[in-house]
Amino acid sequence: MARISYVNGSYVHHQEAVVDVEDRGYQFADGIYEYIAFYNRTLLDGELHLRRLERSLNELRIEMPVSMTAMMLIIRELIVRNSREDGGLYIQVTRGVAKRDHPFPKKIRPVLVMTVCGPKTPKPHEVKDGVAVITTADIRWGRCDIKSVSLLANVLAKQKATEQKARESILVRDDRSVTEGAVSNAYIITDKGVLVTHGLDEKVLGGITRDVVLRLARKAGISVEERSFNSVEMNSAAEAFITSTSANILPVVKIDGKAVGSGKPGPVTRKLQELYLTYIFKQTGRML
């Protein structure tokens, strides 16, 4: 199966897809990205992802490379050309190509790149039995709400987790407050059954799965608190889980080698998993 990518107006074989060496995304990490899952060739929460993409661009004062209508046409065509029913779509937009200099160049066109990959879903045993995570210092920049391509701190955190055979690194600030995971949003369930996750501000990325899960939780009558919580509260939680577009909802059963609650996925997390799978089916017709 030929893999096709989109680069600034052209559909090309993936191995032939290139960008200029003076692209500011490469030189300065001056750009943003989105990852969108699709099933049955239908984007999961596509509108929400594209709305977040537009917000990230606005925050960095980068123009939309094409209209939203045009972008949706490109996305549909790219999925068709890759002959995939299920998979993932990466969209990356950089400020453009210009002589290396820190200030924004004048009269520069944004660069739009899209690629398609196979499905990124968790392993069945991770969904069923839960995963282990570690904690590590949150050393990221001050605008984590922007989905920037500047991901070095996240890479280092994720690598640390990988080396310790953990699924994820949960990021903790100097005051011991928990923000989110290296590639996910983080949640705890208190002993009173309250779902707690960090509120939306510049310290965390507003996850699309996060938004959906909180809406599903509230609709199901689960108490939700969007507030900061610290590592002490996390370590004494009854349940914990993480979410992302590729992970969906994963129970966390061990943090830094210590069991969370009973050491097994809890009832609130299980309920949310069921609700989210139903949500995916209603949007895309695919039962995972």
Concatenating the DSSP letter of every residue in 149-178 gives S--HHHHHHHHHHHHTT-SEEEEE-TTSEE
166: buried, middle or exposed (CB in 10 Å: 19+, 13-18, 0-12)?
A: buried
Q: State the pLDDT at residue 126.
A: 98
Q: State the pLDDT at residue 191.
A: 97
Torsion of CA 91, 96, 101, 105, to 10 degrees: -130
Residue 40 near residue 34, CB atoms below 8 Å = no
Q: State the pLDDT at residue 176.
A: 97
* Owner of token pair 């196979």: 118
Residue 54, H or E segment: helix 46-60
**CA-CA distances (angstroms) from residue 190 to 24, 176, 212, 229?**
44, 18, 20, 11
SS3 25: helix
> pLDDT tens digits for 1-27?
689 999 999 999 999 999 999 999 999
> CA geometry: angle at 56 spanning 55 and 61, to 5°?
95
**CA-CA distances (angstroms) from residue 128 to 141, 183, 198, 249?**
34, 20, 25, 11
Q: State the pLDDT at residue 225.
A: 98
Q: How far apart are CA 89 and CA 91, in angstroms?
A: 7
Q: Which residues are catalytic?
A: 147
Pick the CATH number of 4-117 from 3.30.470.10, 2.60.40.10, 1.10.340.30, 3.40.50.150: 3.30.470.10
Task: Record the pTM.
Answer: 0.96
User: What CATH code is assigned to 124-284?
Assistant: 3.20.10.10
Q: State the pLDDT at residue 1.
A: 66
Q: State the pLDDT at residue 2.
A: 83
Residue ranges in the chain modelled with pLDDT below 50: none
Q: How far apart are CA 1 and CA 84, in angstroms?
A: 9
Q: Which of 198, 208, 200, 195 is nearest to 173 (CA)?
A: 198
Domain boundaries, the chain: 4-117, 124-284
288: buried, middle or exposed (CB in 10 Å: 19+, 13-18, 0-12)?
A: middle
